Amino acid sequence: MGMGWCIGLIAAGGILTFAVDWKADGVNVPLVGLILMAAGFLGLSAYVTVFKRRRMQPPPPAAPVVEEDHRFVR
């Protein structure tokens, strides 16, 4: 899931939970909204974790080792 889908799930869940007063037989609409919001938050946290891992830069390489030959030193 991308970040847009996760935010969309959170928004749809919030609308179903807080802004709708539908009554459906056998379906608890506010509970469905809470489940959608939870899925959106879990997806968003997973996306951010993976995205953060991709953005990490490897450590800079160590300084090159220079070996000196002391046989020709005056």
Domain boundaries, the chain: 3-54
Q: How confident is the model at residue 64 (pLDDT cuts 50, 70, 90)?
A: confident
User: For a pLDDT cut of 90, what percent of the chain falls above it?
Assistant: 50
Residue 23 has pLDDT above 70, yes or no: yes
Residue 74 has pLDDT above 80, yes or no: no
Q: How confident is the model at residue 69 (pLDDT cuts 50, 70, 90)?
A: confident
pTM for the model: 0.66
Residue 2: the pLDDT is 82
Exposure b/e, 7-34, CB count within 10 A at least 16 = b: eebbeebeebbeeeeeeeeeeeeeebbe
